[in-house]
Structures are given as structure tokens and as C-alpha cells.
Amino acid sequence: MPNLGSGIASYVQSWNLSGFIITGGNNLFECPERDETELALISYALANDIPIFGVCRGFQIMAHYFGFKIQPCSNHAATTHEVIINGDKHMVNSYHDNCGPVEMQPPLMAFARDLEGRIEGFRHVQEPLMAIMWHPERECQATDLNIKMIRKFFGLL
């Protein structure tokens, strides 16, 4: 999507899109035009029942949209680490200097945490909105975890 700020809604309508992925990228508040565009896109998606999936920066802007604070963290950039999902440990990549919150209240619910208890994945309890802090697109080979999670979210399973 181009960085159109609040004008993103009319742009999206002209494409008749049925789902969005907010990708990784620079840290929040480093690119005000992108921040404004993505916040407007989240509002549009929620108002129109359009699925929206966030990856890393996408996680961060979506958490921010709902009032949750993203915290700086160390030793997370260009590494891998474990996350716990439904009691199972999964190895994921990490390319961020920010970490998710430890607590989250409705309408968001955590489904993945790192071993220090920080949230690495969340979903909205009613709306088609989900986000993760790792990058499925940066894996040389797609993992079953990422394939199943993303396909299920978009109704492709």
C-alpha cells in the first residue's frame, strides 16, 4: 500500500481487497506517514470486517492501535528464539529491537509468548485481526506452524 495516510480507505475501496497483511519494516514512529496509513488501514479493516494480519511491525502498530505499549528489548535482532503456543514450543526468527507487552486485555488475547513471558502473537477476540512478532517470509523454507496459522486465519484451510 502506498503511504496515503487517512486517504488509504478510498484507495483500498478502489481495489476491492478482501484481506490485508501489515508487514515488517522500520520501528514505530520513525515514519509518520506509514504510521498514519497503517492506523487508518486498521480502522478501515475493522469497520468493514476485513481480515488483517500483522507481521513484526504490523504486530507493533496493531498493539499500539489498541493502546498497548511496545517495549525496547535487547538480543532479539537477527536471532532465533522459542515461543510457546498452546503449550508447545516453536522456534521462530526475530528481527526486531522492540518486544510485545507482557499483559494484554480484551479485545486482544495473547496466543504466543517468548520464554520470558512477552507476547509474540495475539488475536482479536471478535474481529478478524491477528499479529505475530516473527517473520514467516524470512524463512528459507516455510514452516508448518506458519503455513497452517496464516492459511487458517485467511480461511484457506
What does each of the 157 residues of the chain score in pLDDT, given as a tens digit? 899 999 999 999 999 989 999 999 988 999 999 999 999 999 999 999 999 999 999 999 999 999 999 988 887 788 999 999 999 999 999 998 888 999 999 999 999 999 999 999 999 999 999 999 999 999 989 999 999 999 999 999 8
Euclidean distance between CA atoms 155 and 12, whole angstroms: 21
Domain count, the chain: 1
> Could you list the active site residues?
56, 135, 137
Q: Is the pTM of this model over 0.85?
A: yes
Domain of residue 143, CATH code: 3.40.50.880
Do 37 and 27 contact (CB within 8 A), yes or no?
no
Do 133 and 93 contact (CB within 8 A), yes or no?
no
Q: What share of the chain is helix, strand, coil (3-state, %, to 5)?
A: 30, 30, 40
Domain with 39 in it: 5-153
